[in-house]
Amino acid sequence: MENMDVLVLRTLRDWRAANKRALMATVVRTWGSSPRPVGSIMALCEDASVVGSVSGGCIEDDLIFQYTHKYAQPTGGEHPIPQGPPRLVKYGVTADEAHRFGLPCGGTLELLLEFDPALPALEQLLLWLGDGRLVQRTVALADGSVTLQRCDTPSELKRTATTLSNVFGPGYRMLIIGAGQMSEYLATMAQFNGFAVTVCDPREEHRASWSVPHVTLSQEMPDDIMAGFKPDRRCAIVALTHDPKLDDLALLEALQSEAFYIGAIGSRRNNQLRRSRMVEHFGETEASLARLRGPIGLYIGSKTPPEIAVSIMAEVLAVKNGVALSCDMQVGSAKDELAVQENDEGVCATAR
């Protein structure tokens, strides 16, 4: 499943390349509750086609009503999508408007509407995103002209009196090592959350039963695939084989990358054995292994493969979204605490 921002930009590019009138809407600011965060984008074509979202749907409906021939009745032969500089518009300023547009109580949002974005800038932006780069797109509010600049780190949308800057990045990717049943559940959820998924497993008997569509399935050794995969800061690496011959070298390669999430399944004991092997045989240190997660997942009492996959996906998303996870939410720490509690209860029972 393609990253939603990239999908919006690609679709908008295709409309403009076909000489279709279109607009791009960006959530610039919100007050109170808001259905979509600042920086969210959508595109609207003159034929009323929509891709992306800036609300729960009602604001999209209003934009369709105002800016497409399907509903709008322009006078003097004018097109409902105007030409000229961008416009800033607000929704949900009054209680009636909030109710009309389905905004939460007290919710207000401001959009920047760009009319007929220039095709060359869209093509260049998509080219750089396709190369795995982060790109800052800056719009001049006076005339709608766009400048693009490569950047190294993600940042929040920035607005000045004259410009609006939004950073776009390539789609998120996940490399799963092992093509077992749990990998199928994790791959499915990762795709629903916008990740392009690659599954690597040199074992033919495991690959033969793979059934999840739209996943790149590789028979390469996991450590070999890393060179071509080129993990960046929008990549998650998840090892699910329990086999050191497959997991360990790949994880060591991943630790040399900027992947935002690197982890391996296994018990607390197996996790400790893995770290010991890496220190003793590969010269790693506790500091160099600090980014290696394991046991992976959030503690939700999961027992079955789909439940464990849910817990892993939840942790990946939390790390992706910059959520600080307390120790009692992480599998290893939570189970250690439970073991201590059970031991204390046993001691108390014996004393009684």
| Interval 317-327 mean pLDDT | 86
Q: CA angle at residue 171 from 168 to 175, to 5 degrees?
A: 145
CA 242 – CA 178 distance, rounded (Å): 9
The region of weakest confidence among 6-10, 151-155, 304-308 is 151-155
* Spatial contact of 305 and 187, defined as CB atoms under 8 Å apart: no
Residue 349 is predicted with a pLDDT of 41
Q: Which of 113-117, 136-140, 326-330, 336-340 has the lowest mean pLDDT?
A: 336-340
d(CA 274, CA 263): 11
Of residues 315 and 328, more confidently modeled? 315
Over 80: is that where the pLDDT of 343 sits? no
Supply the mean pLDDT for the chain.
87
Instruction: Note the pLDDT of residue 80.
Output: 86
Task: Specify the pLDDT at position 99.
Answer: 59
**pLDDT value of residue 246:** 92
**What is the mean pLDDT of the segment spanning 244-265?**
94
Q: How confident is the model at residue 107 (pLDDT cuts 50, 70, 90)?
A: low
Domains of the chain: 4-168 (no CATH), 173-335 (3.40.50.720)
Q: CB of 108 within 8 A of CB of 38? A: no
Which whole number is the average pLDDT over 22-32? 89
Q: What is the C-alpha separation between 6 and 191, in angstroms, rounded?
A: 15
Q: Which residue's structure tokens are 């920035």?
A: 158
Distance, in Å, from the CA atom of 40 to the CA atom of 19, rounded to the nearest integer, reads 25
Is the preceding peptide bond at 295 cis, omega within 30 degrees of 0?
yes
Look at 286 and 105; give whichever has higher pLDDT.
286
Q: How many CA atoms lie within 13 A of 286 on its CB side?
A: 1
pLDDT mean over 249-274: 94
Please give the residue that has the higher pLDDT: either 209 or 338.
Answer: 209
Q: How far apart are CA 338 and CA 304, in angstroms?
A: 19
Secondary structure E strands in 6-118: 22-31, 41-45, 50-52, 87-91, 108-115
Residue 351's pLDDT is 39
> Token pair for residue 109?
């949002």
Question: Which percentage of the chain shows pLDDT scores above 70?
Answer: 85
Sheet with 146-151: strands ordered across: 146-151, 134-140, 163-168, 158-159
User: Whole-angstrom Cα distance, residue 117 to residue 41?
Assistant: 13
SS3 content of the chain, % helix, strand, coil (to 5): 40, 20, 40
What pLDDT band is residue 121 in, cutting at 50, 70 and 90? very high
Whether pTM > 0.75 for this model: the answer is no
Q: Whole-angstrom Cα distance, residue 36 to residue 165?
A: 18
How do residues 43-101 score in pLDDT, each as one tens digit? 999 999 999 998 877 888 889 989 987 666 655 567 889 989 999 998 875 556 655 65
User: Rounded mean pLDDT of 148-164?
Assistant: 90
Residue 336, pLDDT score: 62
Which 3 state secondary structure label does DSSP give 323? coil
- CA-CA distance, 78 to 72, in Å (whole number)? 10
Q: How do residues 170-183 score in pLDDT, each as one tens digit?
A: 778 999 999 999 99
Question: Which residues have a Cβ under 8 Å from the Cβ of 176 and sit 6 or more positions away?
Answer: 183, 186, 187, 190, 197, 198, 199, 200, 238, 240
